[in-house]
Structure 1
């Protein structure tokens, strides 16, 4: 049976204890189109866990437009979740599917989804609607405003033609004028939105990092070159495969791991990547563990973590995650990644031009040529990351945006 909108009972597992509120809490409903644990959704999970345990003046609920693993994971940290059943082709559409011709083909499903959202939001006792994915922004903003709710976006996508099709760029920028506030996951993302935005980097939980006071465990055996993230044309798995022959010329004992699986209809791309490894004669050097629930063990085994996105990434969470584990990083010099890594003699990792397979291979070889030097730089990097990218800082910025959005015209409590 489908879970009804905003009527699902609170989780049986008690939420973490927090101080009793001294005033009525600000009630926030987070809306996401998917319940699959992508980068934005994992960032949401960490954010909610932090807010539930530290903010006594907030009450956070979630409304998802599909069912999946994120439901139970949010409820486990004390966030009640409702699932609103909507047209599947609307939820699973690619970034090309909700703009231009794709939108026209799905117009009926989009309209029904927005009507269902309006009804659910009108009934909900909430102050702020927080959308956290591109589809959620487009689907929920107008219904939320029609239901007289304040809207806050957390933008995890660059709204630029090198990342989205032009019709989507125009549509998102037009709708993006409507929210009361917009949060961006990097300065690079904020610069593409066409309006003012506050930056809140997706922060890490303390247990995702190796504490600066502890040594990084030694990595034994053949060097492992890894890439972590959902398999997609924008994530760089194909570029790593194409760089592998050049790496193996210098370090024939190297091994490669592609950690992550396809989402949002990218299964064909995974087949293409694996076929390319076969064509280049490097398939036996690659392992494909797929999606793993916890990437820490995978990262800890890597001699170098590669971020090879051929288009500018909005942020690059895996870069932060790897650096927090003391893993040397080779990443593309575009989008939000340079905000993490930096440039020049104090850079936390190596940066290469996006899509430049030869430069990617040479940077990986440079790390493997001098692993002790790379390890020293990575050790310094994890100390910097621990200070700059903690989830507590993210929670402060996001909750401040919610409070500011609700400050004017807040609904009276009965």
Structure 2
């Protein structure tokens, strides 16, 4: 099926929908290997929405991602789904290789027939497929790396592939970028932090209504303190630390409720971990104070209704929920690891604590909830910081600046001829 826009339950061809390219005619394929929406997919949608020079087309398996893209008026192209699982079973490995080849072949043919000029891969998995099948689609490939890259043999193989078949690598944080070998990839590496849409000026008028509505939904008293941890349910996100910290606060006499917002996605171990969190809350006698809210799209409303946001991850590549919270004047306490310190300056725009230190986390939360001057100073600085460094407009501008170094029609045609000759010789 060709590129088009989703309308109801069907996809329309771009020509039928009235889609027109932007001034310079550049078309960019945003390639995502999954239809499941998480932080990376939200960042993709926001970036595509705010491009000013390029026309985006989202290539992904049919599902929620394409549906959301269509609602935003972004052109879409459904492609075959492919998902491999790590295994030591030779038959499983062979099956996955065949599956990857088939998915890559279909993707490359779709790209060749779409008229796009660049391929913007939204994950390492998508980037590997786009790079491996460049011989067929013959389009420049950009990787948008949103996770900490693997080390060891696999990591070295990925970097060698990037050196040969990738034009640019966009990194959401220095923590991510520093995992690449700058000696061989230095000129291809670009720092492009995630961005958010800043709250509108008229949002504060609805804040009290939103706060009341969310608290009713989550069965939380209006006068209680609510702390939230938002993100996919996974062991490396360490939601158990938030539950244990809530237990510490309740034991100290604080009237605190914890909202665990997120869903266990992608792996069976995440589902098992989600079940273990429910058991932990029961074991600590917190079933009446921990609310498992599941996946929610209204993160802004959650931020307006809560009193503090927690991020407890082992090694968060960036932490877009932090900038979402900070933009809504919600104070944050987060782990001092990964890309988090690039966002939160300890004691200036939020509070940081060592990974896994539940008592330190509980102390941070207590300070945020009880020290009003500190809270007001932190949220004022944090909101200003997001407005100056982490807007989606800034992200889109940086992305298009990289496009501009690659998209030169005459140069691309010459490069394509050279690449074709190199494969045929």
Band of TM-score, shorter chain: 0.7 to 0.9
Per-residue displacement from partner, 1:140-195 (whole Å, max 9, x unpaired)?
Answer: 2211343211001111011145xxxx454334323332211111111111111223
Residues of 1 paired with 2:249 and 2:153: CA distance? 40
1:188 maps to which residue?
175
Could you tell me how far 1:269 is from its partner in structure 2?
1.4
Assess, with a 3 A threshold, how the Cα gap between structure 1 residues 79 and 217 changes in structure 2: closer, same or farther. closer
| Secondary structure, aligned partner of 1:252 | coil
Residues of 1 paired with 2:401 and 2:147: CA distance? 21
Per-residue displacement from partner, 1:313-338 (whole Å, max 9, x unpaired)?
Answer: 11000010000000010001111111
2:330 maps to which residue?
327
Assess, with a 3 A threshold, how the Cα gap between structure 1 residues 21 and 268 changes in structure 2: closer, same or farther. closer
Per-residue displacement from partner, 1:248-303 (whole Å, max 9, x unpaired)?
Answer: 12243101000111110222111011111112222221011111122111111111
Paired residue for 1:148, among 133, 138, 154? 138
Paired residue for 2:249, among 247, 250, 253? 247
Residues of 2 paired with 1:296 and 1:284: CA distance? 24
Instruction: Indicate the larger mover: 293-302 or 400-409.
Output: 400-409
Assess, with a 3 A threshold, how the Cα gap between structure 1 residues 21 and 122 changes in structure 2: closer, same or farther. closer
Please state if 1:113 is matched with 2:99. no
TM-score, normalising length: structure 2: 0.83
Structure 1 unpaired stretches of 5+: none
2:58 maps to which residue?
62
| Secondary structure, aligned partner of 2:77 | strand
Q: Is the 8 A contact 1:327 1:375 kept in 2?
A: no
Residues of 2 paired with 1:72 and 1:98: CA distance? 36
**Structure whose alpha-carbon radius of gyration is higher:** 2
2:316 maps to which residue?
313
Q: Is the 8 A contact 2:172 2:318 kept in 1?
A: yes
Q: Is the 8 A contact 1:127 1:411 kept in 2?
A: no
| Secondary structure, aligned partner of 1:78 | coil
1:382 maps to which residue?
383
Could you tell me how far 1:245 is from its partner in structure 2?
1.8
Q: Which runs of structure 2 are paired with 1:338-353 in the superposition (5 Å)?
A: 338-343=341-346, 345=347, 347-353=348-354
Could you tell me how far 1:81 is from its partner in structure 2?
0.8
1:28 maps to which residue?
28
Paired residue for 2:238, among 232, 236, 241? 236
Please state if 1:179 is matched with 2:183. no
**How many residues are treated as equivalent by the alignment?**
386
| Secondary structure, aligned partner of 1:121 | helix
Per-residue displacement from partner, 1:17-40 (whole Å, max 9, x unpaired)?
Answer: x9x8554x1121110011222111
Residues of 2 paired with 1:147 and 1:330: CA distance? 45
Please state if 1:81 is matched with 2:107. no
Structure 2 unpaired stretches of 5+: 5-10, 212-221, 415-425
1:169 maps to which residue?
155
TM-score, normalising length: structure 1: 0.85
Per-residue displacement from partner, 1:103-149 (whole Å, max 9, x unpaired)?
Answer: 55622211221222222223331211110112211222211343211
Assess, with a 3 A threshold, how the Cα gap between structure 1 residues 14 and 406 changes in structure 2: closer, same or farther. closer
Q: Which runs of structure 2 are paired with 1:285-304 in the superposition (5 Å)?
A: 285-304=289-308
Q: Is the 8 A contact 2:229 2:260 kept in 1?
A: yes
Per-residue displacement from partner, 1:33-81 (whole Å, max 9, x unpaired)?
Answer: 1122211110111111111xx32xx2211110x2221112212222211
Residues of 1 paired with 2:89 and 2:169: CA distance? 21
Q: Is the 8 A contact 1:212 1:383 kept in 2?
A: no
Residues of 1 paired with 2:373 and 2:89: CA distance? 49
2:191 maps to which residue?
199
Instruction: Indicate the larger mover: 264-273 or 113-122.
Output: 113-122
Could you tell me how far 1:409 is from its partner in structure 2?
3.0
* Structure (1/2) with the larger helix percentage: 2
Residues of 2 paired with 1:100 and 1:377: CA distance? 54
Q: Is the 8 A contact 1:304 1:330 kept in 2?
A: yes
Assess, with a 3 A threshold, how the Cα gap between structure 1 residues 176 and 22 changes in structure 2: closer, same or farther. closer
Residues of 1 paired with 2:323 and 2:230: CA distance? 12
Residues of 2 paired with 1:382 and 1:252: CA distance? 27
